[in-house]
């Protein structure tokens, strides 16, 4: 998915939308720019503007097209229970996101490419669908034929250094992992204010 210039987008939506903008240098530059914007702007954004920014922040963080994202929102609203929690769950249990959370890829974008190129298996079978929903008990693994590629050099060490959420499990030596329970907004930090996102779509 093409998203345009990352630094420009991150200045509008926040550094968290891209891993490459989560640096001290960017934070200092953004703090300086924020002070200047505050001097020029007396009024805050409208409700609509705030909701739109939150929607874009979450959508771009997960690397989704508008059509894909709105489908997740519809499903969350139609499900029983808290729609914000359900939306968060649907986004987090995407295969590409779980691969990223496990530390098998440095970014969600890299995880999506890894899956699309057939480097991952789910329950022993190769898959190329990044949006596949991971279930409790599914076993994710780097495909045997892919482990010798340069892409996976030192992956076991890198994966072992990554801090895992309580809902994830990983064997860094075997490069296998999965989820032990469904993620919540407590066990996996949301990418933005999901209540604002739902308000945007309820207009």
- Check residue 11 and give its pLDDT: 60
Residue 164 lies inside a defined structural domain of this protein? yes
Residue 175 lies inside a defined structural domain of this protein? yes
Based on the fold, state whether residues 41 and 53 are members of the same structural domain.
yes
- Check residue 16 and give its pLDDT: 63
Based on the fold, state whether residues 135 and 72 are members of the same structural domain.
no
Based on the fold, state whether residues 51 and 98 are members of the same structural domain.
no
pTM, entire model: 0.79
Based on the fold, state whether residues 125 and 141 are members of the same structural domain.
yes
| Range of lowest pLDDT (45-49, 58-62, 147-151) | 147-151
The enclosing domain of 150 has a CATH number of: 3.10.290.10
Under 8 Å between Cβ of 98 and 89: no
Close Cβ partners of 172 (under 8 Å, ≥ 6 residues apart): 156, 157, 159, 160
Beta bridge partners of 171: 176
Say how far apart CA 13 and CA 55 lie, in whole Å.
Answer: 10
Based on the fold, state whether residues 98 and 51 are members of the same structural domain.
no
Based on the fold, state whether residues 170 and 194 are members of the same structural domain.
no
pLDDT higher than threshold 80 for residue 105 = yes
| pLDDT band (50, 70, 90) for residue 130 | very high
Domains in the chain: how many in total? 2
Based on the fold, state whether residues 38 and 82 are members of the same structural domain.
yes
Close Cβ partners of 137 (under 8 Å, ≥ 6 residues apart): 178
Say how far apart CA 104 and CA 111 lie, in whole Å.
Answer: 7
- Check residue 177 and give its pLDDT: 95
Which residues form the domain of 131? 94-179
pLDDT higher than threshold 70 for residue 13 = no
Residue 38 lies inside a defined structural domain of this protein? yes
Based on the fold, state whether residues 75 and 100 are members of the same structural domain.
no
- Check residue 18 and give its pLDDT: 63
Residue 185 lies inside a defined structural domain of this protein? no
Q: List the alpha helices (DSSP H) in 20-61.
A: 24-40, 47-61
Mean pLDDT score of the chain, rounded to an integer?
86
| pLDDT band (50, 70, 90) for residue 156 | confident
- Check residue 40 and give its pLDDT: 54
- Check residue 14 and give its pLDDT: 63
Based on the fold, state whether residues 43 and 111 are members of the same structural domain.
no
Residue 1 lies inside a defined structural domain of this protein? no
Based on the fold, state whether residues 66 and 100 are members of the same structural domain.
no
Say how far apart CA 7 and CA 145 lie, in whole Å.
Answer: 36
pLDDT higher than threshold 70 for residue 86 = yes
Residue range 160-170: average pLDDT?
Answer: 88
Under 8 Å between Cβ of 101 and 88: no
Please, how many CA atoms are within 13 Å of residue 154, restricted to the half-sphere of its CB?
A: 4
Residue 27 lies inside a defined structural domain of this protein? yes
Residue 184 lies inside a defined structural domain of this protein? no
Based on the fold, state whether residues 108 and 167 are members of the same structural domain.
yes
The enclosing domain of 56 has a CATH number of: 1.10.1050.10
């Amino acid at each position: 998915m093409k998203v345009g210039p990352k630094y420009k987008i991150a200045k509008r939506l926040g550094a968290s939308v891209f891993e490459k903008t989560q640096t001290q240098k960017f934070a200092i530059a953004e703090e300086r720019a924020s002070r200047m914007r505050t001097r020029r702007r007396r009024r805050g954004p409208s409700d609509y503007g705030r909701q739109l920014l939150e929607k874009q922040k979450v959508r771009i963080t997960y690397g989704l097209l508008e059509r894909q994202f709105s489908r997740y929102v519809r499903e969350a609203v139609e499900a029983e229970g808290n729609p914000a929690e359900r939306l968060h769950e649907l986004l987090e249990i995407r295969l590409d996101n779980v691969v990223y959370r496990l530390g098998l890829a440095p970014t969600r974008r890299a995880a999506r490419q890894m899956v699309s190129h057939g480097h991952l298996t789910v329950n022993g079978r190769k898959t190329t669908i990044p949006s596949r929903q991971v279930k409790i008990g599914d076993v994710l693994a780097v495909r045997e034929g892919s482990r010798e590629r340069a892409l996976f050099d030192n992956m076991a060490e890198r994966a072992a250094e990554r801090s895992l959420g309580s809902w994830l499990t990983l064997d860094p030596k075997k490069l296998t992992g999965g989820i032990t329970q469904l993620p919540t907004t407590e066990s996996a930090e949301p990418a933005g204010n999901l209540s604002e996102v739902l308000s945007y779509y309820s207009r």
